[in-house]
Structure 1
């Protein structure tokens, strides 16, 4: 029997979110392959029910929120040292998965200089204009990115002196998120209208927009609403308050029965500002829910059609969102029709289709000749 390929995952973000869920979905597609997985994480709860070997990442309070300057580099150097120390316990590493973005995963790039593994980078959201980030992108063996992040990637690469189009960089490739068969969302109910919202409390996720829209609806028409939220930790970004005292709203902090709560609902509301992908939207579609999304040019706005497989409202318009909610709850037949149409589209986003190339990149031991050639061309 051939030796198991060893994949290392760095997870330095202290709370759960879409990119982390996507990473776990990718790893489920490797379970029938000849691999083992080790995770160094700042969020051990997320990995509790996986087969991965997990170790907690340590970070002093003074460096937890460092995002610039010497403290930022000190933070990632400390992560790199822990990765080298982790290597002593887990053995040779064949491939590392940088699952968030170079600005977050920098420690993996530093440790790569010592440990020599292949590095596969996934990009779930826009990256900052940074020479360091650009250089990391050039030194990854594979970069898989959401199409919506392409402009920011080009900007970061230009800061590092690379002015080629992404299509000319052979180690860059787009991907879409997908859902595994074994965790496919449960079909929602169509008996009575119930609203469902699920995201973190980061301000840009728009919980405040939903709450204000619900307050705009007359008390006689109030809709039962489930708000499932993740409370961010170790972040400098602004956040919303939860729970709040709002009529007919049930609050659930990081619930273990998220799928059950979703299946008891049937109207999904997205209030995020230009969501790079929107994994929770895809999950709602897979459950057959009527999805209400903003008209903002983001991914699902470009993929779905108002009145055919979703309802759309003008982004940030609280009155328009309230009207969409009322429209959805007033016609269960239309709600079901929109939900069923959305569920058909969701079938195109099965994990075995969406993550095939990423899994292949993770499971190979061979050094990427094309990315090495590209780097020589850039440096030359």
Structure 2
């Protein structure tokens, strides 16, 4: 799941950004937000049921591979239903949730290449590229002429990943656009392509600080450029990302969340201490770091193999905020084994469709991990 990270997010994109598709979902959902989606109605968590959700009971129940498989199929059915939703946000999220299952994802991605929403088309192209679904590459090529430059960028990456000859020059146009959202997408795709010759261009883009956009958008862009450079071997670029974990103002916490996500994706072990600090900072016994950043830090640590952060998700799973509950489900997906599946199964009954989908995506990830690693 791949993905995802591009620009300041509206409320709709913030709801979406809690899904994991470690695939720079940030870029995809900023695009969807730019298409003018409204925030899905925030609903409360599922009503408490008299079900034993304890880790011990969950581990006992889901030790049975038949029981795990049944839950997995239930989760897959929910995700596939989401990919046919009237909501572009759910369609894109659903497609990303299928990325751990390439054979299930491919037909959905093919259909999504023709979606009316630019964010869904972008997600489809990026999914085909990330999973190297190269039998679908001929269907991607028409998107090189898509009216939306971000969709064209996704198509370039997909074709390049499948060994096709493709002109990457439109990415430079994106990178030096006047729109920081488009610039972020250009930087991200250049980083994903893995061509180190793009480093000088990224350095030049980092110095282009003028143009349209709010200050926070410019800061997010700088992080995206730093991430791309780090992917291309410029490890020093991560210093600015680590520094962003400590925002100077409340409006900069979004930047800190993005920084944590990047550090996790790049498995930057030099940032482990800072991430742990962000999770556990307290004053008078109360956590001082916002839950969004605590959860992002826990997810980042899990990607490095430190899966001790399930307690953060447990604390946030009953939040009144649907985006936070969905983000908690994501962290469960990164941190738990069979002992956490009962909690995720209960979260499938949440009143908010994004939380349901995040929980289903987490179940798929956990069951796949158990099958491969035993936990």
TM, length-normalised to structure 1 = 0.29
Q: Which has the larger radius of gyration?
A: 1
Which has the higher relative contact order, 1 or 2, with Cα contacts under 8 A spaced 6 or more apart?
2
Of Structure 1 and Structure 2, the greater helix share is in: 2
TM, length-normalised to structure 2 = 0.30
Of Structure 1 and Structure 2, the greater strand share is in: 1
